[in-house]
């Protein structure tokens, strides 16, 4: 996975250098219970020693039976700031020997975990989750995680599935850094993060970078994201994966390829939105910073403020791919231009006809949207909107 990211970054840097030369010349969201049936033989986790013991059997099935925090047995020697010569928690598994079992947090909290491994890759509560591995109903709170490459509050690298999970705290690293999952080639769904994230490359509020096999679905991020290149409120670098039915309210600050939802998009973004502020220099967009030739954006919108020096747009900063049936708020973004999408007034953004009148390929309602009363949702549609009171929201979101 790491080689793929490295090649992509080198290619993108070359492309950016060429472009510069040319230019110089011219509550809560917890989904339904997805626990496997009782036929699985579960081992119970009740303290930090039990959690640490998972590494002995990375293919086992585990249930968290209660909250874990700084007062729980084993914290000082395993997960506190003096554990392991000041390195704190040792992530479970490795890239070469990942966790392939099942971990069900049952909604209990794992709090106060400290990880200080700035020279190590694959860093989080779990270093790596392999194909077939499942993390669900896990909540990490008040975490303090530092690593190098593939750094996440919950999982460093993911080839498996992360579902119905949450992270909160601070995460820092260099490349593929995010609040929940650092590097993703599997599935992340029904999850969210409220993390202050800081990194250099491929930095995201929920996921740092997502490979061609990676997906982010029905998830969201809040908090703040700061980086240099490929910085996004939800996902930093989408390297051919999919983002669907997700959103971000995170504030985003970066240098190049900076987006309210995705910084660098080489995959697909659909039925998603962003409302957080976006500040950058080159290739800055309310939803997507740069949409690559292989990238697509559809049925999505952004309304956050956008500030950029060059190639800045209300929806997309720079577009080399496809953008369809998507909008940005002119008044809220402060931008009258975008390389893709259509700019609308606030009144129009809150009017259902803006979305139902964009018929494509004979579809009368391509956004699959319906009007609802305040405080109600209609799950038969992807999108809901309370007319003249708010922007469209995803039907899985709690009614406000």
Q: Please, how many CA atoms are within 13 Å of residue 264, restricted to the half-sphere of its CB?
A: 30
- Give this prediction's pTM: 0.90
Structure tokens at 93: 């598994």
At residue 40, the pLDDT reads 66
Per cent of the chain over pLDDT 90 is: 86
Q: Examine the pLDDT at 22 and tell me if it is beyond 60.
A: no
Give per-residue pLDDT as tens, 24-76.
322 343 334 444 444 568 999 999 999 999 999 999 999 999 999 999 999 99
In the block, residue with structure tokens 């040792």:
90
Domain ranges for the chain = 52-354, 355-400
Q: Examine the pLDDT at 10 and tell me if it is beyond 50.
A: no
| Architecture of the structural domain at 52-354 | 3 Solenoid (2.160)
Helix (H, G, I), strand (E, B) or coil at 52: helix
In the block, residue with structure tokens 């700031």:
81
- For residue 303, CA distances in Å to 25, 104, 314 come to 34, 36, 8
């Amino acid at each position: 996975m790491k080689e793929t990211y490295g090649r992509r970054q080198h290619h993108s840097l070359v492309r950016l250098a060429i472009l510069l030369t040319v230019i110089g010349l011219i509550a809560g969201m917890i989904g339904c219970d997805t626990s496997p049936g009782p036929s699985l033989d579960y081992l119970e986790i009740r303290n930090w020693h039990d959690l640490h013991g998972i590494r002995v059997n990375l293919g086992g099935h585990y249930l968290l039976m209660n909250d874990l925090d700084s007062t729980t047995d084993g914290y000082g020697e395993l997960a506190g700031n003096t554990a392991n010569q000041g390195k704190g928690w040792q992530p479970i598994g490795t890239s070469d020997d990942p966790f392939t079992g099942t971990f069900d947090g049952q909604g209990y909290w794992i709090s106060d975990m400290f990880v200080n491994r700035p020279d190590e890759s694959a860093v989080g509560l779990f270093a790596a989750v392999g194909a077939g591995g499942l993390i669900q109903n896990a909540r990490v709170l008040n975490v303090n995680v530092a690593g190098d490459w593939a750094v996440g509050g919950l999982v460093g690298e993911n080839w498996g599935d992360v579902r119905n999970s949450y992270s909160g705290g601070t995460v820092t690293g260099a490349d593929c850094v995010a609040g929940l999952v650092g590097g993703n080639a599997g599935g992340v769904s029904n999850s969210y993060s409220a993390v202050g994230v800081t990194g250099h490359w491929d930095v995201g509020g929920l996921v740092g970078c997502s490979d061609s096999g990676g997906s982010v679905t029905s998830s969201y991020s809040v908090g703040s994201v700061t980086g240099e290149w490929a910085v996004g409120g939800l996902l930093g670098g989408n390297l051919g994966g999919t983002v669907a039915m997700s959103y971000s309210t995170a504030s985003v600050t970066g240098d190049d390829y900076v987006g309210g939802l995705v910084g660098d998009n080489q995959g697909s973004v659909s039925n998603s939105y962003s409302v957080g502020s976006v500040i950058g220099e080159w290739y800055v967009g309310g939803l997507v910073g740069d949409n690559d030739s292989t990238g697509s954006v559809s049925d999505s919108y952004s309304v956050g403020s956008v500030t950029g020096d060059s190639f800045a747009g209300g929806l997309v900063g720079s577009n080399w791919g496809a953008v369809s049936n998507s909008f940005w708020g002119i008044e809220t973004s402060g931008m009258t231009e975008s390389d893709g999408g259509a700019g609308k007034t606030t009144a129009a953004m809150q009017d259902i006809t803006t979305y139902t009148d964009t018929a494509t390929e004979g579809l009368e309602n391509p956004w699959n949207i319906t009007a609802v009363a305040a405080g109600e949702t209609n799950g038969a549609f992807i999108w809901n909107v309370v007319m003249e009171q708010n922007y469209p929201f995803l039907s899985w979101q709690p009614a406000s």
